[in-house]
Amino acid sequence: MAKKASVKKTTVKKTTVKKTAVKKTAVKKASVKATGVKKAVARKAASSRAKKFVYFFGNGKAEGNRYMKDTLGGKGSGLAEMTNAGLPVPPGFTISTDACNLYYERGAKLPPEIDAEIAAHLRRLEKAAGATLGSTQNPLLVSVRSGAKFSMPGMMDTILNLGLNDAAVEGLKARTGNGRFAFDSYRRFMQMFGSVVLEIPKAAFEHEFEAVKTAKGAALDTDLDEAALREVVEAYKSVVKKKSGKPFPQDPNDQLAMARNAVFRSWNNPRAREYRRIYDIPDSIGTAVNVQMMVFGNTGDRSGTGVGFTRNPATGAKEFFGEFLINAQGEDVVAGIRTPQPISELAKVMPHAYAQLRQITTRLERHYKDIQDFEFTIQEDRLYMLQTRSGKRTGYAAVIIATDFVKERLITPKEALLLVDPEALSQLLAPGFDAKEWKSIPAATRGLPASPGAACGQVVFSADHAVEWANQGKAVILVRRETVPDDIHGMWVSQGILTATGGMTSHAAVVGRQMGKPSIVGAGELTIDEHGKQFTLKGQTVREGDYIAFDGLTGEVKLAKVSSQPSEILQVVAGKIKPAKSDIYGRFNQLLTWADKYRRLGVRANADQPDQAEIAYMFGARGIGLCRTEHMFFGEGRIPIVQRMILADNEADRRAALNELLPMQRQDFYGVFKAMHGTPVTIRTIDPPLHEFLPRREDLMVEVAKLEATGKGGKELAEKKTLLARVEQLHEFNPMLGHRGVRLGITYPEITEMQARAIMEAACQLNKEGLKVVPEIMIPLVGLVKELKDQKLIVDRVAAEVMKEQKIKIKYLVGTMIEVPRGALTADAVAAEAQFFSFGTNDLTQMAFGFSRDDVGKFLRIYQDKKILEKDPFATFDAEGVGQLVAMGVQKGRATKPDLKVGICGEHGGDPASIHFFHQVGLDYVSCSPYRVPVARLAAAQAALSVKVGD
């Protein structure tokens, strides 16, 4: 049936819209924060040093600062800011993102001036460090770290301990008196350099490492002594020689240049590109490279390394949160090879360093006015800070943290609005399990609760399978030993992620939180056989395709299919929980109340039925921007009447069918008006081509053929044949550009008459009952002012009749949708007949691009891969092109009628980036699906706070 098909289509579209919206806001939030002042500071810095590509930090002073993320990347800007604040940061320098872009422009070469600038900064670093690169007495070792403007966890490469060679390693041993440490550092360096720069598979090195471990009977990496590590180094040298055809590079300057270029190259590795595609990070911004003096967490038991957050990033709770490893280097904590200890343990083993760390990170949180995600290393009891950035958090945590910060007077409500990604609010509306059912099932195991939310689905063991199954419409849970950055596409499509190893800051945990995916990590009782596509748990075997469920907030995993239930907030909205009983609802509501104070844009909802309208109202929609009357035609028992109307070959029969629809529509409208408590309701007259209400031509042909073949067709056959004849009559080659919208109202004026009557009768009735309702009747698809004029005459005539019959005069408006480009181009003329405009940006985008909304999927991805289009224009509004039609429509419309009310009702109405544009162009309101209303309220406030109208 046509009905089913079209319903399906819309759901599919909605989900894609949602997804893209999620992606985008990660980026959006940051740009929202770039207020005028910050921009000016950054600009000044950039212009006064027009040709500078390298920025130094060290000895308490840095050339960069926190506002220079564009140039220095997030990591570089954080290191500079911390240095300026007097924190213990190892010195170094940042090679700017501009250098990366030049590197690509020049065909993978850096201009010689930049090479010279780097050499000069290296000398400066050697002075600050009191050590020299490649020295056999006191060698300087550096890390070469990637770092773009937006953090891309684990997507690009970093190399540690650079500067070591056969001579320098002896120098390091002599200076530290620690041969084990020197050779451990060397083998780490060779392994990283070998895999990242020389592109030798990691496994080749791991194989040798394991061989030595086995030969020495060592269980842990730390069990290997100097002699064993020397063997590892020799083995690595043969690996390099064999795989790359050349000996391991011994000149530290060559090493540095090669590592730097490798970091530049890692900007374009497949997983980094995929990550940028998901999060809508432009490919053009490039990465910076940070060269920084090494400090060592692997010198022994008075050293270590760790990562942490100033608050719990999963729940938002105010607690110091993190993990560390004794006698280890940076990569070990996230790699999941050794299980790290909770940071509270650090207080016991190194109380002094712990106290200092707490003091510094608290200060950082106050300084940045945001939860910080930091990295540190302790070398012989001395603490060093290696990174700080805004911590990625779940939507739930975002709301808790922002409202807590206000309570703690760390920020104002206005600042709190900028701290929450609007998409966080839609995460809060995600479902949970039915509490009773959940409790009744015994937990099979427990893992670390890395990202909250209820997840249930069929088990898959690889990212590719996850994608394959999800494409078949299955709900899947990705189960892995540990996830790696290459799994990102599979994580994205899964209901949840479950891993057997890794801690709360492992890859799966960080990415899961960021995506808002329920995740449990480190479920150590799972024995996973990824090749055999099964895992075992206490003797039980779970195979690919079996159902499991887990709660990302508690860490409990159950081997069952468990139905989920609406989120706490939805339950409050539905009246099942009292608002005062729900802490999270209170905060959610508080935040949105603040948003309402600052936003200029009105927020309405697209809703067709009274129950949807009620939800929209509770979420704060103050008005309906689009009520699609034809959706009501699909209601219980109505389709046959609608079909009778369509099949009628004369006006009288058509009117008879319409008369049957009239009371039903009147009741629908009555319900919607009532649910909206007198706020404006825009109702659109019939829009889709009529064949959408009839069975599919192909189906009918088959049915007719079947009946004819069996020879017992009779009355049924005759009916089907008539239906088929009408369907063929209505058949169009290009229905989206065919007989639809206002064109229907013009050819069948009695449809417009019936709908206008139903709207007016319902509105008059409610006004009599004391609810002041001002209906807004909207004519779709107008490209010619005379089309609107024709329909307006009908509406006005019917309205006058109804008001006379009902003996009441009410206010009503007649307006139009601007969705055909010609409507926008002639908006001044159209406005003479319209009391309001609503931009239908779905059709407007379709017609401006000439892309069929229903077929764009066939080529969009290729367009994006080839960078012909960056974003899906049906998800994020194309401000540059289609935006001109909107801007022109607003301007021309208001030139005719200065107080013309203008809104937008396409899917873009709930997309934060698009909302910024609609704010700027001076619309009165946006209208979106009911569940997006909270997102739109917050996005509208952010738009108002960061951009002034007419800016």
Under rule CB under 6 A, how many of the chain's residues touch ligand ADP?
A: 16
Phi, psi at 452, each rounded to 5°:
-70, 165
- Of residues 357 and 762, the one with the C-beta less far from Mg ion: 357
- Of residues 165 and 505, the one with the C-beta less far from Mg ion: 505
Q: Of these, 170, 225, 331, 415, which contacts ligand ADP (CB under 6 A)?
A: 331
Please, what is the angle between helix 112-129 and helix 252-266, to 10°?
120
- Of residues 54 and 690, the one with the C-beta less far from ligand ADP: 54
- Of residues 118 and 295, the one with the C-beta less far from ligand ADP: 295
Listed residue (609, 740, 573, 595) closest to 681, CA to CA: 609
Rounded-to-10 torsion of CA 320, 326, 331, 335: -80
Does position 322 interact with ligand ADP (CB under 6 A)? The reply is no
**Total Cβ atoms within 10 A of residue 239:** 21
Q: What are the strands of the beta sheet with 527-529, ordered from one edge?
A: 527-529, 534-537, 540-543
Q: Of these, 375, 551, 703, 819, which contacts ligand ADP (CB under 6 A)?
A: 375
Does position 292 interact with ligand ADP (CB under 6 A)? The reply is yes
Binding mask 72-91 for ligand ADP (x = CB under 6 A): ------------------x-
Q: State the binding partner of 90 from ligand ADP, Mg ion, none, CB within 5 to 8 A by kind.
A: ligand ADP
The Cα–Cα gap between 354 and 906 comes to 53
Question: CA 268, 270, 273 angle in degrees (round to 5)?
Answer: 60
Does position 819 interact with Mg ion (CB under 5 A)? The reply is yes
Chain position whose Cβ is nearest to ligand ADP: 330
- DSSP three-state, residue 472: coil
Q: State the binding partner of 816 from ligand ADP, Mg ion, none, CB within 5 to 8 A by kind.
A: none
- Of residues 170 and 331, the one with the C-beta less far from ligand ADP: 331
Footprint of ligand ADP on residues 89-148 (CB under 6 A)? 90, 143, 145
- Of residues 30 and 736, the one with the C-beta less far from Mg ion: 736
Does position 160 interact with ligand ADP (CB under 6 A)? The reply is yes
Rounded to a whole number of angstroms, the distance between the first and last alpha carbons of the chain is 50
Least separation in angstroms between residue 923's CB and Mg ion is 17
Within 8 A by CB and 6+ apart from 26, the residues are 150, 279, 280, 281, 421, 514
Q: Is 905 labeled as catalytic in the residue annotation?
A: yes
Does position 503 interact with ligand ADP (CB under 6 A)? The reply is no
Binding mask 240-279 for ligand ADP (x = CB under 6 A): ----------------------------------------
Least separation in angstroms between residue 57's CB and ligand ADP is 12
Within 8 A by CB and 6+ apart from 480, the residues are 461, 462, 487, 497, 498, 499, 500, 508, 528, 530
- Looking at 655-754, which runs of residues are DSSP E strands? 681-684
Instruction: Supply the Cα-derived Rg of the chain in whole angstroms.
Output: 32
Does position 328 interact with ligand ADP (CB under 6 A)? The reply is no
Stretch that binds ligand ADP, among 79-87, 292-300, 623-631, 723-731 (CB under 6 A): 292-300
DSSP codes of every residue in 600-663 = -SEEEEE--SHHHHHHHHHTT--SEEEEEHHHHHTSTTTHHHHHHHHH-SSHHHHHHHHHHHHH
The Cα–Cα gap between 572 and 73 comes to 42
Does position 330 interact with ligand ADP (CB under 6 A)? The reply is yes
Binding mask 396-415 for ligand ADP (x = CB under 6 A): --------------------
Under rule CB under 5 A, how many of the chain's residues touch Mg ion?
A: 4
Does position 388 interact with ligand ADP (CB under 6 A)? The reply is no
Question: CA 50, 51, 56 angle in degrees (round to 5)?
Answer: 100
Least separation in angstroms between residue 588's CB and Mg ion is 32
Q: State the binding partner of 393 from ligand ADP, Mg ion, none, CB within 5 to 8 A by kind.
A: none
- Of residues 156 and 478, the one with the C-beta less far from ligand ADP: 156
From the candidates 489, 507, 631, 908, give the one annotated as an active-site residue: 507
The Cα–Cα gap between 646 and 388 comes to 65
Least separation in angstroms between residue 147's CB and ligand ADP is 7
Does position 787 interact with Mg ion (CB under 5 A)? The reply is no
Does position 692 interact with Mg ion (CB under 5 A)? The reply is no
Least separation in angstroms between residue 306's CB and ligand ADP is 9
Q: State the binding partner of 854 from ligand ADP, Mg ion, none, CB within 5 to 8 A by kind.
A: none
Q: State the binding partner of 551 from ligand ADP, Mg ion, none, CB within 5 to 8 A by kind.
A: none
Q: State the binding partner of 160 from Mg ion, ligand ADP, none, CB within 5 to 8 A by kind.
A: ligand ADP
From the candidates 631, 905, 916, 919, give the one annotated as an active-site residue: 905
At position 582, the amino acid (one-letter code) is S
Footprint of Mg ion on residues 380-409 (CB under 5 A)? 387
Dig out the tokens for 68 from the structure.
């220079």
Phi, psi at 244, each rounded to 5°:
-105, -10
Binding mask 666-685 for ligand ADP (x = CB under 6 A): --------------------
Q: State the binding partner of 843 from Mg ion, ligand ADP, none, CB within 5 to 8 A by kind.
A: Mg ion
Q: Of these, 386, 626, 675, 782, which contacts ligand ADP (CB under 6 A)?
A: 386
- Of residues 295 and 448, the one with the C-beta less far from ligand ADP: 295
Does position 295 interact with ligand ADP (CB under 6 A)? The reply is yes
Phi, psi at 931, each rounded to 5°:
-75, -15
At position 87, the amino acid (one-letter code) is L
Stretch that binds ligand ADP, among 93-101, 216-224, 291-299, 746-754 (CB under 6 A): 291-299
Does position 486 interact with ligand ADP (CB under 6 A)? The reply is no
Phi, psi at 442, each rounded to 5°:
-70, 145
Does position 841 interact with ligand ADP (CB under 6 A)? The reply is no
Q: Of these, 191, 387, 494, 682, which contacts ligand ADP (CB under 6 A)?
A: 387
The Cα–Cα gap between 195 and 197 comes to 6
Residues forming beta bridges with residue 445, ordered by sequence position: 557
Element (H, E) at 403: helix 395-407
- The b-or-e profile of 585-604 (16+ CB within 10 A means b, else e) is bebbbbbbebbeebbebbbb
Binding mask 835-874 for Mg ion (x = CB under 5 A): -----x--x-------------------------------
Q: 641, 653 in Cβ contact below 8 A?
A: no
- DSSP three-state, residue 685: coil
- The b-or-e profile of 286-312 (16+ CB within 10 A means b, else e) is bbbbbbbbbbbbbbbeebbbbbbbbbb
Q: State the binding partner of 819 from Mg ion, ligand ADP, none, CB within 5 to 8 A by kind.
A: Mg ion
Alpha carbon of residue 415 to chain centroid: 21
Least separation in angstroms between residue 254's CB and Mg ion is 25
Does position 506 interact with ligand ADP (CB under 6 A)? The reply is no
Element (H, E) at 160: strand 158-162
- Of residues 221 and 375, the one with the C-beta less far from ligand ADP: 375
Chain position whose Cβ is nearest to Mg ion: 843
The Cα–Cα gap between 169 and 179 comes to 9
Looking at residue 233, what DSSP letter applies?
H
- Of residues 69 and 145, the one with the C-beta less far from ligand ADP: 145
Least separation in angstroms between residue 780's CB and Mg ion is 6
Within 8 A by CB and 6+ apart from 865, the residues are none
Side-chain half-sphere of 120: how many Cα atoms within 13 Å? 11
Contact footprint for Mg ion (CB under 5 A)? 387, 819, 840, 843
Residues classed as catalytic: 507, 905
Q: Which residues bind ligand ADP (CB under 6 A)?
A: 90, 143, 145, 154, 158, 160, 292-295, 330-331, 375, 377, 386-387
